[in-house]
Structure formats: C-alpha cells, structure tokens
Amino acid sequence: MPQKAVEIILMRQLASYLAVPIFLVDPAGRLVFFNEPAEALLGLRYEEVGEMPFEEWSTMFRPTDETGAELLPESLPLAIALRKRQAAYRTLRIRGLDGIWREIAATALPLEGQGGRHLGAVAFFWEQEPR
C-alpha cells in the first residue's frame, strides 16, 4: 500500500474527531476513510470495507436524484471536486448497506497540498429531513 501524503493523514485524523459525516478520497478517487458519523448513514463500518476504488464506492450506495433516477458516478459532488478541483454541492438519495434509503446533502471540496499538489477530495454530508 503506497505511503499517504501527510495532509491526507491529518485530514483523516481531523475527520475522526468531527461529528459531521465525512468521506475522504485520494487523487485517484480511491476511498481512504470515512468517519463514525458516516458509518451510521452508510450502514457499515469503515473497518468492514477499508480502502476501495472509485468504481466500487461510487455505485455501492445506489445514488439517485430526488425523483429516484440513478446518478452517474461522475455527477456525485465528490467526483466533481476531485476531477474539476472545485467545490460541489448536491442533494441526493442513497441506500445504505443496512437497506435504508436516506436523503442526504453533500458538499465536497478538493484537497491541495503545498505547491498545489493534488491530494484528493473530501465530502461532508448529512441526512435531510423527509419532505
């Protein structure tokens, strides 16, 4: 397993202390970490899945828009922040691995290190009240 940038290690450490659900990916889009509050919404613990490629995590929660139409992986806020290196926001529905559908709001931000090094992206998300 390749060595992680110190900024990613620090972001993971910070995420472990925050009460908001956080999902962290490296520059290739590979899942690096999600915190305990995210585990409750995703329906599984990070220790159960560990690191995984973009192609796997971006579809495993079956993301849809508010009408139930399936979302393409590249339209997810985290994918936009990663690819375009800009902040992205969207409300969407996901099905946790516990089988429960949840409407969430997600804000994703690109992560850059010193000298503009691309480090990946982070998403903050939270459950929305049902309409």
DSSP string, 69-114: PBPPGGGSHHHHHHHH-S-EEEEEEEE-TTS-EEEEEEEEEEEE-G
pLDDT at 45 over 90: yes
- Strand order in 88-95's β-sheet? 31-34, 22-25, 118-127, 101-112, 88-95
Taking a C-beta distance cutoff of 8 angstroms, is the pair 52, 78 a contact? no
Confirm if 127 and 19 have CB atoms less than 8 A apart.
no
Round the average pLDDT of the chain to a whole number and report it.
93
CATH architecture group of domain 6-127 = 2-Layer Sandwich (3.30)
The confidence score (pLDDT) of residue 111 equals 96
Q: Kindly indicate the confidence band of residue 61, based on its pLDDT and cuts at 50, 70 and 90.
A: very high
pLDDT at 129: 80
Specify which residues 92 forms β-bridges with.
Answer: 104
The model's pTM is: 0.90
* Position with higher pLDDT, 114 vs 1: 114
Q: What is the pLDDT of residues 74-106, one digit of tens each?
A: 999 999 999 999 999 999 999 999 999 999 999
Structural domain boundaries in the chain: 6-127
Largest CA distance in the chain: 44
Reported as a pLDDT band with limits 50, 70 and 90, residue 1 is low
Judge contact between 23 and 38, C-beta under 8 A.
Answer: yes
Which whole number is the average pLDDT over 40-48? 93
Q: Which amino acid is at 92?
A: L
Of all residues in the chain, what percent carry a pLDDT higher than 90?
Answer: 85
